[in-house]
Amino acid sequence: MIIGNWKMNTLREEARTLAESLAELPVQPTTRVGVCPPVIWQQTVGEVLKGSPVMVGLQDCVGDPFGAQTGCVNAAMARDAGCQFVVLGHSERRQRFSETTDTLIPALQAVLEAGLFPILCVGETRDDRDQGRAIEVVDAQLAPVLTAGLDLDGLVVAYEPVWAIGTGLSASQSDIDTMHTTIRAILDRDDAVVLYGGSVSPESAPDVFASQAVSGALVGGASLDIEKFAAIVAAWEQR
């Protein structure tokens, strides 16, 4: 699975043009490709990608039902808009909006109940890694999910070391393999989908995808450049 996260980028015409290129992307039937545009362009992008193999999702949603929540959208809205998945707990939201896995549980539940799949992001900071606490931190981020009594069929986890996001840095092949293997053990699901994210590029993708414990990538910056994104999809298919 290769997912592009456009974050807070693109004006409408850029979003439409990128989506048109995505719709033309050659994708093998076994590869799942998706994109999360800014929520305001979701409809524009969704219309372009309708009937193509590329899935559309949201970058975030809240767990609340309908009501007085200024600026928020919920999982029922995401489904009604034709989304197939929602990213939850991205580190940019954890840092800026104080989200924690505990506060994300209602959203996770709502996304699962809406029949969409959540992509739950976890990952340590540079300090955590330097202090040898990377696995402990990721374990603590996943723990509330496992004890919440949710039916986790369809859950996708994205391991994104915070220090690797948007920095051009990447975790080493062996650290990626160790962390992904650990996450699979924590989830205790043979079919767990665990993506890697953090400056994934056409150059870094072959190394990232070398680990059998990696199920694909969550791609930020490089997803805004269709040639780079296509090269990452191709690297996945050639691994």
Assess 166 for contact with ligand PGA (CB under 6 A): yes
Indicate the SS3 state at residue 149: coil
Q: Which is nearer to ligand PGA, 90 or 184 (by Cβ)?
A: 90
* 90 among known catalytic residues: yes
DSSP β-ladder status, 217-219 and 85-88: unpaired
Establish if 5 lies at the interface with ligand PGA (CB under 6 A): yes
Which of 19, 22, 104, 219 is the binder for ligand PGA (CB under 6 A)? 219
Enter the tokens of residue 12. 């409408």
| Nearest approach, Cβ of residue 3 and ligand PGA (Å) | 8
Q: Which of 99, 124, 160, 180 is catalytic?
A: 160
Q: Rounded to the nearest whole angstrom, what is the least distance from the CB of residue 123 to ligand PGA in the complex? A: 9
Which amino acid type is present at position 26?
A: P
Q: Which of 60, 124, 128, 160 binds ligand PGA (CB under 6 A)?
A: 160
Q: Compute the half-sphere exposure of residue 1: CA atoms within 13 Å on the CB side of its CA.
A: 24
- SS3 assignment, position 35: strand
Partnered with residue 34 across adjacent β-strands are 3, 55
Write down the least CB distance from residue 164 to ligand PGA, Å: 6
Question: By Cβ distance, which residue is nearest to ligand PGA?
Answer: 220
Query: In the bound complex, what is the minimum distance in angstroms from residue 95's beta carbon to ligand PGA?
Result: 11
Say whether residue 118 binds ligand PGA (CB under 6 A).
no
Q: Is 89 in the site for ligand PGA (CB under 6 A)?
A: no
13 is catalytic: no
CA 65 to chain centre: 23
Which H helix or E strand runs over 105?
Answer: helix 101-113
**Tokens 């940019």 label which residue?**
92
Which of the ranges 19-27, 52-60, 137-145, 218-226 carries the binding residues for ligand PGA, by CB under 6 A?
A: 218-226
Question: What letter does residue 50 receive in the DSSP assignment?
Answer: T
Nearest Cα neighbor of 101 from 65, 136, 56, 148 is: 148
Q: Which of 165, 176, 208, 214 binds ligand PGA (CB under 6 A)?
A: 165
Catalytic residue among 90, 92, 99, 124: 90
Distance in angstroms (rounded) separating the CA atoms of residues 12 and 3: 20
C-alpha–C-alpha distance, residues 198 and 219, integer Å? 7
35 lies in the binding site for ligand PGA (CB under 6 A): no
Contact status: 221 vs ligand PGA (CB under 6 A): yes
Q: Which of 10, 42, 170, 199 binds ligand PGA (CB under 6 A)?
A: 199
In the complex, minimum distance from the CB of residue 205 to ligand PGA, in angstroms, rounded to a whole number: 11
Calculate the alpha carbon distances from 60 to 117, 135, 203, 222 in Å.
12, 25, 28, 20
Q: Can you give the binding site for ligand PGA, defined by CB under 6 A?
A: 5, 160, 165-166, 197-200, 218-222
Which of the residues are catalytic? 90, 160
